[in-house]
Structure 1
Amino acid sequence: MSEETAGKPGRNDVSDWWRTSIIDMAPGMIRFRGHPIEDLIGTVSFPQMIWLLTRGELPGEGQAKLLEAALVAAVDHGPQAPSIAAARMAVTCGLPLNGALASAVNMLDDVHGGAGEQAVEFYHMIDEAGGPSHAGAMVERWQETRSAYVPGFGHRFHKPVDPRAPRLLELVDEAAAEGIVSGCYAAIGRSIQQVLNDRKGKPVPMNIDGATAVIYAELGFAPPLARGLFCLSRSVGILAHAWEQKQQGGRNKGPTPPAYRWTYEGV
């Protein structure tokens, strides 16, 4: 018996090596958070299943629909997105679909894919500071202490509006009107956008990270889970592009056509 379990009645150093409240399984029996799998199959949606496993309970229908909207909105952004490009290149290098998925998801870190987590964290900071009226001061604090980039705002391609954000915020407003969410994080997101618009003197679009972060914050997901949920969502696009590349063929394709060369700056 290990030092950790020694002297603790009913504890076993083998069966207690891993402990979980997520799944209970025995021959002929599988339960997720206490729910028999046969009761879940055909009755709950995939977003509801995500919620059940990560949060410990089944969401209401309105909560699940809002989560699903965020997942749908972020599935893909084209081959110019580094993660999608990585998946397609991986396939041309001979990797199977699971290898392409792994290569791509591993690129979803702080810079590419992490802004949603950072935005949820930032929204929480503004909420704790007193709400939307404190957005200006908190933007300054974020830029002084964290990054010049305000997570969830601005886009290289979609100007002056990221077409995904208004629709997601509209769904949040509808959910708030029905009492499903509070709407406070939607107000915070809009207040940040107004601050940035005023400072820049032109529209600074709330992007997909900022909009989905509003939903994840409204639904009570912790900031790190926002990144995990983005990875789940973007995996759909990654899979689709990897599979398409398999059908198209191609061998050992790099980031640019062979006729193009990089800039050499050495001796």
Structure 2
Amino acid sequence: MTERTRKEGRERGEEWWSTEIIEMRPGMIRLRGYPIEDLIGRVSFPAMIWLMLRGELPTEAQASLLGTALGAAVDHGPQAPLIAIARMAATCGVGINSAMASAINVLGDVHGGAGEQALGFFGDIAAAMDAGQSLEDAVADRVDRFFARSGYVPGLGHRFHPVDPRAPRLLELVREAARQGTVSGRFADIAEAVEAAVERRKGKRIPLNIDGATAVIYGELGFPPPLTRGLFVLSRSVGILAHAWEQSQYPDRNKGPLPREWLWAYEGTPERRLPEASEP
């Protein structure tokens, strides 16, 4: 029997959910060691996110760049499945928290996971460069590998925008942060080299999208890929909340995905009747 399993009573209970994030007793709250009253009014929300996830406070420039990425991805309209779900849920009379949860629960690999995939892809290229490969060779090898496997590269292209209007501005701010020494600019270099490699392969430019651009920022700031998805959830929750609240102010009830006069295409078995139903 280990020392841990021998412990009983209060000591065992206190260790059950051990954490390095928060210390709390009656009249005292400390986040990563900082008294909450010291943080309130002095530390921005992006800096609080950084502190909670990373254990240390960022510089103001780092917090600003993180906030920029979070702010850029807050919404993309009701045609996005999660926003449509939030609005439909609101018409069903559920609370705003339930509408938000319904929307967040559809964020997975296909819808919401591209940023994580992009940062994993960029990070793999960075690791190859650390192992001695040139930027061009590392990018070419991995672009070829991705095309062979899936036919696309994460973080590029958009089904609505020929050029995602958010991406160039985010890359511009990354370059500015690199000039100021806040970040290295390495992930921006990788993303632009990936764009160029894909253009050579396909014969047309497929620009960086919001997922790729925010992945650049999160990579520059040192966040691991899995946290990228969580950060996207935090960001898009702002839009989810806004849409759920707006929809809750309208009188619509049980509003489905299509107007009532538009019905779905039925492709099943033609009409058939039970024998007893056709008898006089």
Identical aligned residues as a percent: 63
Task: Tell me what 2:218 maps to.
Answer: 216
2:167 aligned with 1:168, yes or no? no
Q: Indicate conservation of the 8 Å contact 1:115/1:209, yes or no.
A: yes
Task: Tell me what 2:59 maps to.
Answer: 60
- The 10-residue stretch of structure 1 (90-99 or 123-132) with the greater mean CA deviation from structure 2: 123-132
Question: What is the root-mean-square deviation of aligned Cα atoms in Å?
Answer: 1.8
Task: Tell me what 1:132 maps to.
Answer: 135
* 1:139-150 equivalence runs, <5 A: 139-145=143-149, 147-150=150-153
Structure 2 gap segments, 5+ residues each = 270-280
CA distance in 1, matches of 2:3, 2:262: 60
Letter in 2 for 1:191: A
Q: Indicate conservation of the 8 Å contact 1:135/1:192, yes or no.
A: yes
Task: Tell me what 1:48 maps to.
Answer: 47
Flag the structure with larger Rg: 2
Letter in 1 for 2:199: N
Task: Tell me what 1:178 maps to.
Answer: 180
Residues 147-189 of structure 1: CA distance to partner in whole angstroms, max 9, x if unpaired?
3231111101110x11100110011101111111111100000
CA distance in 2, matches of 1:6, 1:237: 46
Select which of 247, 251, 254 maps to 1:252: 254
Task: Tell me what 1:201 maps to.
Answer: 203
The structural deviation recorded for 1:7 is 4.9
Number of aligned positions between the proteins: 264
* SS of structure 2 residue aligned to 1:113: coil
2:30 aligned with 1:31, yes or no? yes
CA distance in 1, matches of 2:14, 2:7: 14
2:107 aligned with 1:108, yes or no? yes
CA distance in 2, matches of 1:93, 1:53: 35
TM-score by length of 2: 0.90
CA distance in 2, matches of 1:246, 1:200: 45
Select which of 151, 155, 180 maps to 1:152: 155
The structural deviation recorded for 1:258 is 1.4
The structural deviation recorded for 1:12 is 2.3
Task: Tell me what 2:272 maps to.
Answer: none
Structure 1 gap segments, 5+ residues each = none
The structural deviation recorded for 1:115 is 0.3
CA distance in 1, matches of 2:148, 2:7: 50
Q: Indicate conservation of the 8 Å contact 1:100/1:242, yes or no.
A: yes
CA 1:50–1:4: 2 relative to 1, 3 Å: farther
TM-score by length of 1: 0.95
